[in-house]
Amino acid sequence: MTRLGHVVIVGGGTAGWMVAASLARMLGVGTTRISLVESDEIATIGVGEATIPPIVAFNRMLGIDETEFVNATQATAKLGIEFVDWHHVGHRYFHPFDRYGADIDGLPFTHFWLRARGLGLTAPIDAFSVGTLAARAGKCAIPTGQQPNAPPYAYHFDAGLYARFLRAYAEGKGIERVEGRVVSVGQAEDGSITTLRLSDGRATDGDFFIDCSGFRALLIEGALGAPFDDWSRWLPVNRAAAAPSRRMPDIRPMTRSTAREAGWQWRIPLQHRTGNGYVFCDAFLDEGRAIADLASDLGDLCSDEPRLLRFTTGCRPRQWMGNCVAIGLAAGFLEPLESTSIHLVQAAISKLLAFFPTGTGDQVLADRFNREMGDLFVCVRDLLVAHYVLTERDDSAFWRHCRALPVPDTLAEKFASFSARGEVIPAHQDLFRDSSWFAVLGGQGLEPAGYHPIADAIASADLRKRVTVVHRSIAQKVSSLR
C-alpha cells in the first residue's frame, strides 16, 4: 500500500500542535516522517481559551493525564455559557452542555416541559439542567471525572500553555520541529506543493502539507489561491480587543458573554488569571475606543495592555486542495461566541485522520472533507447568527443593525421548526444538538407555539408526577456535587 513519506505542518500555535500531537499518536513516525515548521518571530493568536466537551475526548485520545493537563495549562472546568443582556438589557440565560431533564419514551424532555408548562408548571427549564444549576452554584470548578453526578464539561485553559504542552507531547513521540520562517513555496506543474523555502535558505520537501499558518493562510491561499466566503453580511463583528486581568477570587465553571454597545465581551476564568475580550464591529465603534472601553471596564484588575485582532468572518469552501489541507484560522474564522474555534480544529483533525491520503485517489477524500467541514461551519454560523437576529435591543445603532440582518435559509428553517413545536432537528454534521438550540432560541425569546404530539400520549396527572420526579432527581444530583 502506498504511504506518504513526509507530512509537513506549517505553523505551530494551538492548531499546529494539536495536529502534530494527533498525527504522532495515531500514525506514529515510523513509516511516515512528520515535521512542523514554525518561527519564533511570528506570534500566535492564542486568545481562544474556552472549549466545548469534545476536547475532553481529544485529550483522552492522546492518552493525556487530566491532572497533568490541568496543572500545565492552568485549566478550570466549564459547564456552559452565560449570556447577559443579549435579548434585552437586564436579561440573562444559560446554554448548558448537558441535556435538559431525561428523555421520556425516546422523546426529548423539553417537549414534556412545554406541555407541563401549559398545565401550570412554574419551574423554569434551567431547573432541569444539572450543568446550569451547578455552574451558578460554583460547583465542579476544577475538572474532574471523579464525581459520579457531574454533568458534561469542557475546559477553560491558557491556549499558549496548551500549545506548549502539546509540543512537548508531540516532540516526545518523534515529531520534528523546524525553526524557520517560510518565504516561498515551490510547486509542481500540476500545482501541488513540493517545497517550502525558509528565510535562512534552507528548504523542506514534503508529500503532503497541512496549513496551520493562521490568518496568513500561507499555503491554502498564498500558494493555491483557495477562495474565501465572506459571511460578514450575517455576522458583522470584525475586531476583538483582548486583555488578561487578575485571577477571579470566586471561580465559577462558566464562560460569560455580555452584550455591549457594538458587540459583546467575554470573561473566561483560569486558575492564574482571567481572560477578557471585547468583540465588536468597527463600523459602529472606533478601535481606539473599544480598547479604552475594555481597559476601563477591567480597571485596576487589568494585568496587561489590550491588544487588537482584526478578522473577517467566513470560511473556505475548499479547505483541502491537492496535497494541502488547511486547519484552524487558515480554513476559516467564526467569532468565539459559542467557544467553537478549537473544536473546529479538532473536527478537521478527526476528518483528516478518517480520510488520510495515500497520494492516490485522494480527490474523493478531499471532496468529502470539504463538504463535511463546510456543513459544520454553516451549523456553527447559524447558531451565532441566531444570537443577533433574535435580539430585542434597539439601544444602539449596532443592535438595530443586527435586528435587521438577513437570516440564512438554513437558519430560517430552524426558526420555523422551533416556533412550531419547540425543536430543531439536527442534520448529520450539526455540532449542536436539540438541547443547545432549545437553550439559545428560547433564551433569545423565541417562543414555541406547540410541542411534539407524542408528548400528549401521557395522561396529565402522570405527566405531572414524572416531571416532578425528574425535578427532584436533578436537585439531588446538584446537591451531591462539590
Q: Which residues are designated catalytic?
A: 78
Residue 311 to residue 466: CA distance in whole angstroms: 49
310's CB contacts (< 8 A; 6+ apart) are 238, 239
CA neighbor of 171 nearest in space, from 326, 68, 342, 34: 34
Residue 241: beta bridge partners? 278, 308
Percent over 70 (pLDDT), the chain: 98
- pLDDT at position 48 is 54
Residue 408 to residue 375: CA distance in whole angstroms: 13
Three-class SS string for 191-249?
Answer: CCEEEEEECCCCEEECCEEEECCHHHCCCCCCCCCCCCEECCCCCCCCEEEEEEEECCC
The most distant pair of C-alpha atoms in the chain lies apart, rounded to whole Å, by 79
Residue 337 to residue 381: CA distance in whole angstroms: 10
Residue 37: beta bridge partners? 10, 178
Query: With 70 as the cut, is the pLDDT of residue 45 above it?
Result: no
- 118: cell is 401549559
Query: With 60 as the cut, is the pLDDT of residue 338 above it?
Result: yes
Contact indicator for 281, 232 with CB cutoff of 8 Å? no
What average pLDDT does range 10-18 have in this prediction? Answer: 97
247's CB contacts (< 8 A; 6+ apart) are 269, 270, 271, 272, 273, 274
- pLDDT at position 215 is 96
Contact indicator for 193, 187 with CB cutoff of 8 Å? yes
CA neighbor of 385 nearest in space, from 457, 326, 314, 319: 314
Residue 300 confidence class, pLDDT cut points 50, 70, 90: confident
CA neighbor of 233 nearest in space, from 404, 392, 393: 404
Burial of 172 (0-12, 13-18, 19+ CB in 10 A): exposed
- pLDDT at position 44 is 63
Residue 278: beta bridge partners? 241, 265
Query: With 70 as the cut, is the pLDDT of residue 43 above it?
Result: no
Residue 283 confidence class, pLDDT cut points 50, 70, 90: very high
Instruction: For residue 185, give the 3-state DSSP assignment.
Output: strand
* Phi, psi at 473, each rounded to 5°: -65, -40
Residue 3 confidence class, pLDDT cut points 50, 70, 90: confident
Three-class SS string for 114-129?
Answer: HHHHHCCCCCCHHHHC
Q: What is the pTM of this model?
A: 0.96
Query: With 60 as the cut, is the pLDDT of residue 1 above it?
Result: no
Residue 28 confidence class, pLDDT cut points 50, 70, 90: confident
The domains found in the chain, sorted by start residue, are 6-75+156-231+313-379 (3.50.50.60), 95-150+395-479 (no CATH), 239-310 (no CATH)
What average pLDDT does range 384-409 have in this prediction? Answer: 98
Q: What is the pLDDT of residues 155-204, one digit of tens each?
A: 999 999 999 999 999 999 999 999 999 999 999 999 999 999 999 999 99
Exposure string over 48-61, b if 16+ CB within 10 A, otherwise e: bbbbbbebbebbeb
Query: With 60 as the cut, is the pLDDT of residue 115 above it?
Result: yes
Q: Round the average pLDDT of the chain to a whole number and report it.
A: 95
Rounded to the nearest 10 degrees, the angle between the axes of helix 460-479 and helix 130-137 is: 40
- Could you tell me where the DSSP H helices lie in 335-394? 341-354, 362-389
Q: What is the pLDDT of residues 431-446, one digit of tens each?
A: 999 999 999 999 999 9
Give the Cα-Cα-Cα angle 37, 41, 45 (nearest 5 degrees).
85
* DSSP β-ladder status, 80-84 and 6-10: unpaired
* Phi, psi at 365, each rounded to 5°: -65, -45
- pLDDT at position 144 is 64
- 119: cell is 398545565
What average pLDDT does range 320-346 have in this prediction? Answer: 97
Residue 417 to residue 133: CA distance in whole angstroms: 28
Residue 302: beta bridge partners? 245
60's CB contacts (< 8 A; 6+ apart) are none
The residue that leads in pLDDT, 102 or 42, is: 102
CA neighbor of 163 nearest in space, from 334, 352, 20, 337: 20
Residue 301 confidence class, pLDDT cut points 50, 70, 90: confident
Query: With 90 as the cut, is the pLDDT of residue 468 above it?
Result: yes
